Structure 1
Amino acid sequence: MKDQPLIDTALKAELSALYSAGDRHYHNLAHIEAMLALAGDYRAQLGDPEAVEAAIWFHDAIYDSKAKGNEARSAALAEEKLAGRTDADRLSRISAMILATATHQLPRFDDAAATRDASLFLDMDLSILGAAPDAFDAYERAVRREYDWVEEPMWRAGRGAVLKDFLARPHIFHTEEFRQRFEPQARLNMARSLEALAMG
């Protein structure tokens, strides 16, 4: 089973089609490619780089801004598509990483390497928060377009609550590497965004 890659060319094509849907303005292939690039940067620190890559490919595979449970549905799709390509333990680790993107709280693993992989994976997913201001602003606009069905007052309240939740955490990022690289800018970006939301 180990000889077969977790994510082969056919599966990449299938997932790429999902990420290329017209209503995806941020949760699209560019987001996946950005995360894969970060996984490349930190590959030497990953215990199971292929499992992290699989989690990246699947974590937003199902994305409907009007639905709850996208993460659970994406994890279920990963379990279905990867069944037979790897062992059950590894599959459950991949699934747990995907599910964790709902709250960005670390899943509980007994294995330190698995915890470390999940920490880096979740940090990669949030790295856009610590991007340069222009890139962060483009991200905010793209997410707003994905929720264009939400009326402005509701959007401001909902988005504001999400940003406040992250800002209230002792750390936005789980790993020291990402805290150093992205945390100061992430806090500046989100504080600025909150200010803009409050001004209406």
Structure 2
Amino acid sequence: MDGQTERRIKDFLEKIPSGVKVVAATKCRSIELVSECPAHGIFAAGENRVQELLSKYQPVEGLEWQFIGQLQTNKVKYILDKVSLIQSLDRVSLADKLEEECAKRGLTMPVLVEVKHGEELTRDGVSPDGLMAFAEYVKGKKHLTLNGLMTVMPLGSEKSAFLYKKTYKLFEKLRENFGSDIKWLSMGMSVDYLTAIENGSNMIRPGRALFGERFYAT
């Protein structure tokens, strides 16, 4: 890890209140870089593509791996022994497949329900109106532990300020209905993490804010 990245991470972490968990978004980052994260105060890495997770994964002392991207049902079986949390549970078929594959392995997998704002067909997630019914469905799965919510904010929306508050209210309602297992509101990335924290987020997913711009292979 170069000195500039070390300073960027140090400066970033100084802004983060205690009680807020940082899950570094490590898309397109090398395993060499990721493996140095614990020494610099980053103890969780989030991958959003199964193929990249599989190519990069190795046990790193002091680091947990999480999955934060859209997860296809046919790829569930490949990541269950590698991640400590799946943040992007967004549909019944995925809940069913996770339950099936976890049961085969005798595992219990912590999950967050991804909630969406807006009706874009390209946006993943459960609608706010359908959240409680879906959460009830997930809670009925023996091998899944519902730990909270994740969301990706539609940046630039005139409703952004309202949506942060709305998401926190959904999180509070989930906690009231389902108790102490509901502990994480994963909301906020590099461009909006401070706003997210101000509105109740206790888990953030920064990438560029920690590591600088990504460089994609051409």
Q: Same fold (TM over 0.5)?
A: no
Q: Using structure 1 for the length normalisation, give the TM-score.
A: 0.29
Structure with the higher strand share, 1 or 2: 2
Structure with the higher helix share, 1 or 2: 1
Q: Using structure 2 for the length normalisation, give the TM-score.
A: 0.27
